[in-house]
Chains A and B, each alone.
Chain A
Amino acid sequence: MNLSPEYLAVLANSTIRMTTPILLVTLAAALCTRVKLFNIALEGAMIAGAFFSIVANYYTGSVWLSVAAGAVSGMAVCGLVGFCVVHLKASAVVAGLAANTLMTAATTYLLSIIFNTKGVFTHPSLVSLPKITLPGVSRIPFIGTLFSGLTPLDYLAFGLAGLLYVFLYKTVPGFRLRAVGINPEAARSLGTPVERWQLLTITFSGLLCGLGGCLLSMGTVTLFIQNITSGRGYIALAANTLGQSHPLGVLLSCGFFGFSQAVGNALQNTALKTQMTFSIPYAATIIALIAFHLYTQHKKKKAKEALLH
């Protein structure tokens, strides 16, 4: 393997592109955690986003209508689950997992009804997300490669992390949203419509998932495959734990998962078999959670010792 700077730049670029879909979904997970909801339907919302953006793409040919379709479909999935969980008091895990299988099945169903195909759909008329070329930057050797081929949604993902940080910690609505998660009973006793906040938040989280899905189906490639999300919604839950549901912490943990996927992809052209490289992100998830646990244990122990001396 050739570890030239150029190669590293390609890897870094790939890391960024692998990070952003997970980042969008992990931000969604973080928001839900902030209002004390466990949203495991991220995966399904992402599938919906990926699929419906392709459908809109095929019929309208407009990139932005496709993105909008992806976002709205993600919101619909999370909104449905949110309604079942918040208002019908369904189990969050069960309803969320159900939504995931529902979306897997529904997209496959629609794929055969609309496009009369199974498994994969792609078409020459599909347009992909525009790639942003930063003027002047593309010619700088390392930096140019690093930032090549990024779409507006990639930049948006990073921007959203910052924006959500400001929203949560600096604004009044963000303050009230956090309060709902810290103590829903207290918020309710002071007249806050907790359920409405929860439903709004989970629905908005669906928007982020939809965008994440759209990035999968219209970013690097322009097609829809069954299992296009390949568990990213679940990995996002782990990334959310590692990032402590903090928009900036999540940025770091998603970077790690993006990196592990980029490495997995890079190793595909080597002697390693695909089954091995494909399983890297999942193994990395478990290993990262273990490392995180050991680290926090260590920190706790230190704090306790410090208290005693």
Chain B
Amino acid sequence: MHHKQPLGNESLRHWLRRFAGDLKQPALAIFAGLVVGGMVIALSGFHPLTAIGSMLKGGFGSAYYLTTTLTRATPIIFAGLAAALAWGSGYPSLGASGQMILGALVCSQAAVRFTGPPLWVITLSLLCGMLGGMLYSLLAAWISDRFKLYLLIVTLMLNYIADYIASYTTTYLVKDPFGADASAIQTQRIESGILPRIFTGYTVHWGFVIALITVIAILFIMKKTTFGYRARMGGLNPRFAEYGGINSRRMMYGVLLLSGALAGLGGACEVLGARFRYVDGMITSPGYAWSGIIASLMANNHPVGIFFSSIFLAGLTTGGGAIERSMGVPSEVTTIIQSVITLLITARFVVAVRKRHASPAPYTPPEGGDLHESQP
């Protein structure tokens, strides 16, 4: 596996060397992803270098594109933090999608119904969104804990169910009564209480700033609090954590609640800042939750790394949209690139020969995601 963060200060030289070492793996995976993406583009009759060039330009090349990318990165950052918290603590949850959906849905309803000054409405609606994500995560945590089921399977199934719940609710219960387009499955547009844009003329909204603040808050929690320490130890070796007196059940609920709250907040910010209503499929079709997991894997669960990897992934998507419009390359090429990056992000290209001692065999910590460990 990769290195673990130190607790305190170390020499700059040491830190830089470690940092460079950590970047090797994501860099290789990104390179492989772009090569495969280029091949796919070439096979379908476009010029790969031109296409990838315009893709990067379309993602980051101008103030307009860059801010569009940042808008798209906002929910990914939240989903990435949610994933990092859960996976890094040994609870591989895929539930961010369902939690974001519920966060978004609840927030959209709260924002329409609350009255008062915008800041007040925004705060309350965001809190409601967090609560929605948190409760849905609590459900998954409880099922997994009480009945000893794989969290992975439970969250996967709950994602499907959340999507249908939201679809049902928007279709039949809270459908937008004023919509011009009767076929659009969406809720009523939020008038007061939307997150304002940071710069006029650009889509990026204050949700991005909230995301940035959250990154710093999570960084602090993970590195400088006993909660973060306990969560990390539980993720690295659950038995060691229990031996040290860490209550693993309490940690599981704590971690998953916080993770659900982050995902819910991500969904809420997307509603208040970008869509101004809940639209059926607004979370699932862009695949925010999955991008978040990729972002967190690329950054090896480091919050600051997630901030940048999310922007990178969002940029690929914005750029993918750009080349679809300008060249006719289907935008799925960006998902293909992302998937290849993910496929290789945990692979070890160079199997490290690190047998320092004749015996015993070096211990490999339990894989965060492998189910064999958690099966009762």
Direct touch of chains A and B (CB < 8 A): yes
Stretch in contact with the other chain, from A67-75, A171-179, A288-296: A288-296
Q: Which residue of A lies closest to B166 (CB)?
A: A275
Chain B: interface secondary structure? helix
Residue of A95, A112, A286 most packed against chain B (CB within 10 A):
A286
Chain B contacts with A in 309-335, Cβ cutoff 8 A: 330, 332-333, 335
- Chain A, residues 229-251, CB within 8 Å of chain B (1/0): the string is 00100100110010000000000
Chain A contacts with B in 77-98, Cβ cutoff 8 A: 80-81, 84, 88-95, 97-98
Alpha-carbon distance between A88 and B29 when the two chains are bound, in angstroms: 13
Q: Which residues of A contact B158 (CB under 8 A)?
A: 282, 286
Q: Which residues of A contact B143 (CB under 8 A)?
A: 286, 290
Given contacts A88-B348, A91-B370, A276-B164, contact A282 B336 (CB under 8 A): no
Given contacts A91-B370, A282-B160, contact A102 B339 (CB under 8 A): yes
Chain A CB within 8 A of B152 CB: yes
Kindly provide the distance from the CB of A301 to the nearest chain B CB, expressed in whole angstroms.
14
Alpha-carbon distance between A92 and B371 when the two chains are bound, in angstroms: 9
- Chain B, residues 133-164, CB within 8 Å of chain A (1/0): the string is 00000000001000111101110111011001
Q: Which residues of B contact A108 (CB under 8 A)?
A: 330, 332
Q: Which residues of A contact B293 (CB under 8 A)?
A: 97
A38, A81, A275: which contacts B164 (Cβ < 8 A)? A275
Q: Which residue of A lies closest to B335 (CB)?
A: A105
Cβ-defined contact, A101 with B290, below 8 A? yes
Q: Which residues of A contact B372 (CB under 8 A)?
A: 36, 38
Residue of B332, B335, B340 most packed against chain A (CB within 10 A):
B332
Alpha-carbon distance between A97 and B367 when the two chains are bound, in angstroms: 15
Chain A CB within 8 A of B115 CB: no
Stretch in contact with the other chain, from B66-74, B104-112, B167-175: B167-175
Chain A CB within 8 A of B349 CB: yes
B149, B161, B168: which contacts A293 (Cβ < 8 A)? B149
Chain B CB within 8 A of A203 CB: no
Given contacts A91-B369, A94-B297, A94-B369, contact A238 B153 (CB under 8 A): yes
Alpha-carbon distance between A104 and B287 when the two chains are bound, in angstroms: 12
Chain A CB within 8 A of B123 CB: no
Cβ-defined contact, A99 with B343, below 8 A? yes
Alpha-carbon distance between A165 and B207 when the two chains are bound, in angstroms: 56
Chain A: interface secondary structure? helix
Given contacts A101-B287, A286-B143, contact A106 B343 (CB under 8 A): no
- Chain B, residues 168-189, CB within 8 Å of chain A (1/0): the string is 1001100000000000000000
Alpha-carbon distance between A38 and B373 when the two chains are bound, in angstroms: 11
Q: Which residues of A contact B347 (CB under 8 A)?
A: 84, 88-90, 95
Cβ-defined contact, A84 with B344, below 8 A? yes
Q: Which residue of B lies closest to A84 (CB)?
A: B347
- Chain A, residues 270-284, CB within 8 Å of chain B (1/0): the string is 000101101100110
Chain B CB within 8 A of A113 CB: yes
Q: Which residue of A lies closest to B371 (CB)?
A: A38
Alpha-carbon distance between A94 and B294 when the two chains are bound, in angstroms: 9
| Chain A interfacial positions (CB closer than 8 Å to B) | 36, 38, 40, 80-81, 84, 88-95, 97-99, 101-102, 104-106, 108-109, 112-113, 231, 234, 237-238, 241, 273, 275-276, 278-279, 282-283, 285-286, 289-290, 293-294
| Chain B interfacial positions (CB closer than 8 Å to A) | 40, 44, 92, 94, 143, 147-150, 152-154, 156-158, 160-161, 164-165, 167-168, 171-172, 287, 290, 293, 297, 330, 332-333, 335-336, 338-349, 351, 367-372, 375-376
